[in-house]
């Protein structure tokens, strides 16, 4: 398929939304009604032979306002089919006094190991349900399996609503690394850096 969203982008964005929604009833979350994400940056961090690679990812504006409008485009590819179970190891770090400190896994948020990213995607969009826009309009997948091929998301507009964040996720600079794997083999690695300013 030519116009299919990159698996890496789908998993990264969908997991972020899924984790937020799955844990929205947790007492440790606080409602954020005004926030800004500044200096968003990303890079691949995998081995040269990793089958899944993000090639482009553009987000605007900078800063990104929550709630607010977001414009995104992306492309990538995978040389193998990506199917369940897909292990996901997330490392979240926050800068404190010039040092990067690892944020522990608390209520499945932070530096956590998720045994199957596909199961989390199924919680966000149950099997049989249409994928959310703009994925549905472009006929793009949002659940496993993701077939081998080249993937691209044309420039698309999204609306970011108010969201619930953990009480420990305060203003500051953060970096996140996600490593996707299956049967002990690394499939993809992505690093994201950003600054968060919230009410």
Domain boundaries, the chain: 7-198
CATH number among 3.40.50.10470, 2.70.220.10, 1.20.120.140, 3.30.565.10, domain 7-198: 2.70.220.10
DSSP letter string, 11-68: HHHHHHHHHHHHTTT-TTEEEESSEEEEEEEEEE-S-TT-SEEEEEEEEESSSEEESE
Q: How many CB atoms lie within 10 A of CB 190?
A: 23
For 39-81, the pLDDT digits (tens) are 999 999 989 999 999 999 899 999 989 888 989 888 888 999 9
Q: pLDDT per residue over 144-166, tens digit each? A: 998 998 888 899 888 888 777 77
Rg (CA), the chain: 16
Q: How far separated are the first and last CA of the chain, in Å rounded?
A: 42
pTM of the model as a whole: 0.83
CB 52 within 8 A of CB 188: yes
Q: Please state which of the ranges 28-32, 43-47, 148-152, 186-190 shows the lowest mean pLDDT.
A: 28-32
Q: Is the peptide bond before 85 cis (omega within 30 degrees of 0)?
A: yes
């Amino acid at each position: 398929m030519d116009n299919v969203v990159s698996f890496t982008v789908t998993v990264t964005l969908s997991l972020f939304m899924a984790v937020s929604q799955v844990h929205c009833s947790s007492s440790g979350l606080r409602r954020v009604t005004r926030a800004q994400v500044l200096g968003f940056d990303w890079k691949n961090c995998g081995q040269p032979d990793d089958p899944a690679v993000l090639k482009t990812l553009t987000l605007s504006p900078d800063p990104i306002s929550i709630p607010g409008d977001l414009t995104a485009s992306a492309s990538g590819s995978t040389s193998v089919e990506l199917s369940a179970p897909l292990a996901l190891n997330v490392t979240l770090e926050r800068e404190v006094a010039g040092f990067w400190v690892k944020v522990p896994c608390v209520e499945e948020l932070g530096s956590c190991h998720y045994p199957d990213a596909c199961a989390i995607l199924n919680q966000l969009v149950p099997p049989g349900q249409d994928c959310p826009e703009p994925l549905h309009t472009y006929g793009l997948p949002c659940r496993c399996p993701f077939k081998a091929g080249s993937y691209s998301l044309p420039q698309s507009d999204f609306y970011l609503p108010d969201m619930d964040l953990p009480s420990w996720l305060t203003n500051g600079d953060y970096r996140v690394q996600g490593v996707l794997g299956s049967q002990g083999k690394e499939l993809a690695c992505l690093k994201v850096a950003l600054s968060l300013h919230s009410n």
